[in-house]
């Protein structure tokens, strides 16, 4: 018999994601949604859209979300959890506003939100919470109306073992695929770059920010340590970035992964790595930033440099990662009932908060209302 657990006070689970185009005609409208309010010319959006056209004008993210949803429903069923699961995107169909309208029509009163973004910053956390506010506010009567659905965002999981252990195994598999060069390979962890000012404002203001970078460094260090435990080799590791956009005058987190590959290849004999494994620790599945920025662009750079390279798999639908959504749901439900649940976390930072501090991850364009935060 499957295990049964109490999800009260929740009567639904909402998967919240970024969204992506599914055909060529979607690409520019999707990018307009992503960049709305930033004054980016359509010509520039069309240039960025070329990345999508290389893959038939279709982002992989919605298909990945469908696969994750199917795996999540199977996981919930296997554990005796009869709970409806909804899905809403910030920037493309199915939109959060439509998901919330359907939830309200179905009589959902309170839902937990699992967001496909594991780290703290405005773009990777608070902006999602602002969009959740907008989606609930669009219901008849707004956020305080009779049709409002109470939403609770599940905590950050960048250091949850169910997320990082699949990354460890994927890194080991990539090393194994290198053959003899693996012993001298360097681990290059990769995530999405953000403006340095956004990183400085990430996390609670009273803790002086910098949470985005600190969380990635902690996750990378944990994975690298686990790889060393398994292989007996300290491969050396570092963090690089991809997908920078915006004005060249605006400082962003560096180095770019391609620039770093150039630097590694130029090191003198004895310091130059025999190979690299790129580990996309900043992504939960193979987003466009992974299949273009790493699998296409960075791999071309490594080949040109004569530097053997592999890309580690993302967590995707690894059963351990799928289970994170269920485990965080049950953890938060227990906490809302007044219990003191176990909060798994690895590395040096510890488990994150249930409700984001009001000063957390300031919007660089000015304050906007957001859900799922502690009182000011």
Residue 193 belongs to a domain:
yes
CATH number at residue 151: 3.40.50.1400
Q: At what angle do helices 127-137 and 96-105 cross, to 10 degrees?
A: 50
Residue 255 belongs to a domain:
yes
Q: HEC states along the chain?
A: CCCCCCCCCCCEEEEEECCCCCCHHHHHHHHHHHHCCCCCCHHHHHHHHHHHHCCCCCCCHHHHHHHHHHHHHHHHHHCCCCCCEEEEECCCCCEHHHHHHHHHHCCCCEEEEEECCCCCCHHHHHHHHHHHHHHHHCCCCHHHCCCCCEEEECCCCCCCHHHHHHHHHHHHHHHHHCHHHHHHEEEEEEEECCEHHHHHCCCCHHHCCCHHHHHHHHHHHHHHHHHHHHHCCCCCEEEEEECCCCCCCCCECCCEHHHHHHHHHCCCCCCCCCEEEEECCCCCCCCHHHHHHHHHHHHHHHHHHCCCEEECCCCCCCHHHHHHHHHHHHHHHHHHCCCCCCCCCCCCCCCCCCCECCCCCCCCCCCCCCCCECCC
Same domain, 181 and 291: yes
In the predicted model, what is the mean pLDDT of residues 81-94? 96
pLDDT band at 181 (very low <50, low <70, confident <90, very high): very high
Task: Report the pLDDT value the prediction gives residue 2, as an integer from 0 to 100.
Answer: 33
Residue 354 belongs to a domain:
no
Task: Report the pLDDT value the prediction gives residue 4, as an integer from 0 to 100.
Answer: 53
Residue 358 belongs to a domain:
no
Residue range 237-286, pLDDT digits in tens: 999 999 998 778 899 999 999 999 999 999 999 999 999 999 999 999 99
Same domain, 142 and 196: no
In the predicted model, what is the mean pLDDT of residues 161-178? 98
Residue 6 belongs to a domain:
no
Same domain, 145 and 25: yes
Same domain, 52 and 137: yes
Same domain, 174 and 120: no
Residue 84 belongs to a domain:
yes
Same domain, 209 and 291: yes
Task: Report the pLDDT value the prediction gives residue 328, as an integer from 0 to 100.
Answer: 98
Task: Report the pLDDT value the prediction gives residue 5, as an integer from 0 to 100.
Answer: 81
The rounded distance, in Å, linking the Cα atoms of 152 and 132 is: 10
The rounded distance, in Å, linking the Cα atoms of 97 and 120 is: 23
Contact yes or no for 20/48 (Cβ under 8 A): no
Residue 121 belongs to a domain:
yes
Q: What is the pTM of this model?
A: 0.96
Task: Report the pLDDT value the prediction gives residue 39, as an integer from 0 to 100.
Answer: 67
Total structural domains in the chain? 2
Residue range 36-84, pLDDT digits in tens: 876 677 887 888 888 899 999 999 999 999 999 999 999 999 999 999 9
Same domain, 66 and 146: yes
Residue 347 belongs to a domain:
no
Same domain, 151 and 194: no
Task: Report the pLDDT value the prediction gives residue 245, as an integer from 0 to 100.
Answer: 80
Same domain, 194 and 134: no
Q: Give residues with Cβ within 8 angstroms of 253, minimum separation 6.
A: 193, 194, 195, 196, 199, 213, 241
Residue range 295-312, pLDDT digits in tens: 999 999 999 999 999 999
**Chain-wide mean pLDDT for the chain?**
95
Task: Report the pLDDT value the prediction gives residue 246, as an integer from 0 to 100.
Answer: 74
Same domain, 36 and 145: yes
In the predicted model, what is the mean pLDDT of residues 97-107? 98
Q: Which domain holds residue 288?
A: 161-311
Same domain, 45 and 90: yes
The rounded distance, in Å, linking the Cα atoms of 291 and 133 is: 31
Same domain, 203 and 323: no
């Amino acid at each position: 018999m499957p295990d049964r657990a109490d999800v009260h006070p929740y009567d639904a689970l909402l998967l919240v994601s970024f969204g992506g185009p599914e055909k060529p005609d979607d690409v520019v409208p999707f990018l307009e949604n992503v960049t709305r309010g930033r004054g980016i010319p359509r010509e520039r959006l069309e240039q960025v859209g070329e990345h999508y056209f290389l893959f038939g004008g279709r982002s992989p993210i919605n298909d990945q979300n469908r696969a994750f949803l199917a795996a999540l429903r199977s996981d919930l069923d296997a554990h005796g959890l009869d709970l409806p699961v909804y899905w809403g995107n910030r920037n493309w169909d199915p939109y959060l506003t439509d998901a919330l309208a359907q939830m309200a029509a179905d009589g959902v009163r309170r839902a937990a939100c699992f967001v496909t973004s594991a780290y703290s910053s405005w773009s990777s956390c608070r902006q999602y919470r602002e969009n959740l506010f907008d989606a609930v506010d669009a219901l008849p009567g707004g956020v305080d109306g009779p049709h409002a659905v109470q939403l609770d965002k599940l905590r950050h999981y960048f250091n949850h073992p169910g997320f990082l252990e699949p990354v460890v195994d994927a890194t080991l598999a990539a090393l194994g695929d290198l053959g003899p060069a693996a012993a001298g390979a360097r681990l290059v962890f990769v995530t999405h770059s953000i403006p340095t000012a956004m990183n400085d404002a990430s996390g609670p203001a009273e803790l002086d920010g910098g949470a985005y970078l600190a969380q990635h460094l902690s996750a990378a260090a944990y994975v690298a340590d686990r790889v060393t435990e398994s292989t007996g080799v300290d491969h050396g590791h570092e963090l690089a970035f991809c997908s920078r956009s915006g004005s060249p005058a605006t400082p962003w987190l560096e180095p770019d992964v391609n620039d770093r590959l150039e630097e590694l290849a130029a090191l003198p004999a004895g310091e130059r790595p025999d190979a690299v494994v790129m580990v996309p620790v900043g992504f939960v599945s193979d987003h466009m930033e992974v299949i273009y920025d790493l699998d296409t662009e960075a791999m071309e750079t490594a080949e040109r440099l004569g530097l053997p390279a592999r890309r580690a798999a993302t967590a995707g639908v690894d059963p351990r990662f799928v289970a994170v959504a269920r485990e965080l749901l049950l953890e938060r439900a227990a906490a809302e009932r007044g219990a003191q649940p176990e909060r798994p976390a690895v590395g040096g930072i510890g488990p994150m908060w249930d409700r984001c501090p009001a000063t957390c991850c300031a919007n660089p364009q000015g304050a906007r209302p957001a859900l799922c935060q502690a009182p000011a």
